[in-house]
Amino acid sequence: MDEGLVIKNTGSWYQVEDAKSHQTILCKLKGAFRLKEGATTNPVAVGDRVDYQTEPDGTGVIAKIYPRKNYIIRRSSNLSRQAHVIAANLDQAFLLVTLDFPQTRLEFVDRFLVTAEAYNVPMSIILNKNDLYTEAYAPALADFLHTYALAGYPVYRVSARTGEGIDTLRELLQGRITLFSGNSGVGKSTLIHAVDPTLNPRSGEISAVHNRGKHTTTFSEMFPLVEGGYIIDTPGIKGFGLVDLKKEEVGRYFPEIFRYAPDCQYYNCTHTHEPGCAVQQAVAEGEIGRSRYVSYLKVLDDEDSKYRKGDF
């Protein structure tokens, strides 16, 4: 039995990098694991540490999946009951967003951040295409930066076209396993190539009609960086359905709400209607971004998922 790292998922096959030789072997999943799929579309995810056994034909069979330190998981849509693990065992995740060309919805950003908080993934926001934001975008840009500064998330302004912020990203990536995610069209593939020119994930055009990116990456894939570390490139994500959040826990995953919650008059305050709510007061005083609070309320209104944390 050999140990390896799952670097690509292509449906029923997994590319596994051997821990000793660093050679890649194509593996299938042992039948016992397939029977357990149920709650997720993929029992094995990119970033998983596994044991595999080599078959006579040169392929492998994954026989063991090591416990994950963290992961990013989502429902494919709010109507779906099945979840998908995007990647596992991450040192950090970068969520690429754009104010326009195309516009990233703040609700999407917040749902991704909530999941990262719930599963212990350190997060940074990468504001891409910064060269396109003219003076007309100044109010929206200032509001975005202020909102997420209040929430405690670092925001890095970058441009693959001009090179702005690229050196900073290289330093942040060095020696770490980093997930790159975001909507289609935000420039993930182009930015990855700018960070490490030896990497050239496929990039898609922007549809002029809908101002949205065309999907190019079908499956998540891990790429080694020249200066050390790995990038996990993911397919462009349109929506982000949350998994297994209990209503009474949601506030914990909004850091700024969690920070003010102890000052509420009632210990079980939902921050929606109760008198003496420190969170609502902080929103009114501009200490918590209003868009973040709206996202919090929308998460509370979500139908409870039948899945619970730890089932994956």
As a whole number of angstroms, the distance between CA 162 and CA 190 comes to: 12
Dihedral-angle region of residue 227 (phi above 0 means left; psi in -120 to 50 means alpha; beta otherwise)? alpha
Is residue 189 assigned to a domain?
yes
Contacts of 310 (CB under 8 A, 6+ apart): none
- Given this model, what pLDDT does residue 76 score? 62
**What confidence category does residue 10 fall into, taking pLDDT thresholds of 50, 70 and 90?**
confident
Judge if 219 and 270 occupy the same domain.
no
Judge if 98 and 216 occupy the same domain.
yes
**Choice among 31-35, 46-50, 51-55, 186-190 with the minimum mean pLDDT:** 31-35
User: Does the pLDDT value for residue 82 go beyond 80?
Assistant: no
- Given this model, what pLDDT does residue 12 score? 83
Average pLDDT, stretch 209-223?
58
| CATH code for position 100 | 3.40.50.300
What is the residue type of 215?
H
pTM of the model: 0.88
φ, ψ at 144 (rounded to 5°): -60, -50
Average pLDDT, stretch 207-222?
53
Average pLDDT, stretch 251-268?
96
Share of the chain above pLDDT 70, in %: 87
DSSP assignment of 223-279 equals EE-TTS-EEEE----S--B--S--GGGGGGGSHHHHHHGGGSSSTT--SSS-TT-HH
User: Does the pLDDT value for residue 97 go beyond 60?
Assistant: yes
User: Does the pLDDT value for residue 120 go beyond 70?
Assistant: yes
- Given this model, what pLDDT does residue 303 score? 52
Q: What is the DSSP letter of 40?
A: B
**What confidence category does residue 167 fall into, taking pLDDT thresholds of 50, 70 and 90?**
very high
- Supply the range of the domain harboring residue 39: 2-65
- When the pLDDT of each residue in the chain is averaged and rounded to a whole number, the result is 88
Question: Which among 184, 193, 187 has a CA at the least distance from the CA of 214?
Answer: 184
Tally of CB atoms within 10 A around 52 = 24
**Helices assigned H by DSSP within the chain:** 31-34, 106-118, 138-151, 166-173, 188-195, 255-260, 278-284, 290-301
Strands 24-29 and 60-65: parallel
Number of domains in the chain: 3
| CATH code for position 266 | 1.10.40.50
- Given this model, what pLDDT does residue 217 score? 41
Judge if 211 and 254 occupy the same domain.
no
User: Does the pLDDT value for residue 208 go beyond 90?
Assistant: no
Terminal Cα distance for the chain, rounded: 24
Average pLDDT, stretch 111-126?
96
Average pLDDT, stretch 45-66?
95
Judge if 183 and 294 occupy the same domain.
no
Judge if 164 and 79 occupy the same domain.
yes
Cα dihedral 190, 192, 195, 196, rounded to 10, equals: -110
Judge if 188 and 260 occupy the same domain.
no
Q: Considering 179, 208, 233, which residue would you say is the last residue of a domain?
A: 233
Average pLDDT, stretch 58-63?
94
Is residue 156 assigned to a domain?
yes
Average pLDDT, stretch 256-263?
97
For 125-160, what is each residue's pLDDT tens digit? Answer: 999 999 999 999 999 999 999 999 999 999 999 999
Q: Considering 37, 65, 93, which residue would you say is the last residue of a domain?
A: 65
Contact criterion met (CB below 8 Å) for 168 and 160: no
Judge if 61 and 75 occupy the same domain.
no
CB burial class (10 A; 0-12, 13-18, 19+) of residue 79? exposed
Radius of gyration (C-alpha) of the chain in whole angstroms: 20
Contact criterion met (CB below 8 Å) for 241 and 75: yes
Average pLDDT, stretch 216-245?
83
- Given this model, what pLDDT does residue 202 score? 62
Q: What is the DSSP letter of 160?
A: T
Contacts of 238 (CB under 8 A, 6+ apart): 183, 184
